[in-house]
Amino acid sequence: MQSTVELTAQAYLVRGGVEAVDKVLSILEKSGIGIKGNADVLVRAYTSFSMEDARALRERATLRGRNERGRVFIVAAPTIAPDAQNALLKTFEEPSAGAKFFLIVPAPETLLPTLRSRMQMLKIPGSAQTSPVDIKEFLKAGPEKRAELLKPLLEKGDDDKRDLSGTIAFLCELERALSRKPAENEKGLNAVYRARKYITDRGALAKSLLEQTAFIVPKMLS
């Protein structure tokens, strides 16, 4: 017999990428919310979540659902602009009756603390996105090898856009590795923080940010 999942919070934060959407939908079904043909369950995947997207979400959230369970919004995005995060914060602070939100991002720690505080972390096994770059190999490598390892992050896909979610996952894993010895890796950590802060800005020079990080982060053999 399938166990029932209780969803008591209004807003949930999920670590992962688009692949986590199906797992969230499965959790909704286990909580008693029908998925098939349910117009009150809206799923949206973005390459980057903007202020305009946040406003559109807020407008949809004010509409009444067709049933008493309320509307459910599942949003997956590799990056969320700071002004959009503030707009989401207002949406979560002034909830529409019965509305639930699921925000899926590869690195929850990159979100504003005020926004994270309004959400409950929903841990889904196997949903966290891993870095396309082997962190251990990267840390052991010299400058030329590191530049070679970074190439997958700088390649553009069919839509002429880079994989920001993979880049953020790389920076977060690199930060975790360096944080084991923060005193010894202070300069490297500052370089990672800087890259993570600006990598999502419009017009950001991803290649320069990543190359600078690769140059500053110290070589680690273990």
User: Are the C-beta atoms of 84 and 117 separated by less than 8 Å?
Assistant: no
For residues 151 and 183, membership in a common domain is answered with yes
Nearest to 53 by CA among 2, 87, 93: 87
User: Are the C-beta atoms of 39 and 72 separated by less than 8 Å?
Assistant: no
For residues 102 and 145, membership in a common domain is answered with no
Helix (H, G, I), strand (E, B) or coil at 45: strand
The tens-digit pLDDT sequence of the chain (222 residues) is 445 667 888 999 998 888 899 999 999 998 888 888 888 899 999 888 999 999 999 998 888 766 666 789 999 998 888 899 999 999 988 867 678 999 999 888 778 899 999 999 998 876 666 788 999 999 999 999 999 999 988 887 655 566 677 888 888 889 888 988 888 899 999 999 888 878 777 666 888 999 999 999 999 876
Domain containing 202 equals 135-216
Amino acid 167: pLDDT? 86
Amino acid 1: pLDDT? 40
Amino acid 124: pLDDT? 83
Q: Phi and psi of 169, rounded to 5°?
A: -60, -40
Which residue bears the tokens 């990267």?
138
For residues 147 and 191, membership in a common domain is answered with yes
Q: How many domains does the chain have?
A: 2
Q: For the domain that residue 55 is a member of, what is the CATH number?
A: 3.40.50.300
Amino acid 81: pLDDT? 86
Amino acid 176: pLDDT? 86
Q: Final residue of a domain: which of 121, 147, 175?
A: 121
User: Are the C-beta atoms of 202 and 164 separated by less than 8 Å?
Assistant: no
Q: Final residue of a domain: which of 121, 147, 164?
A: 121
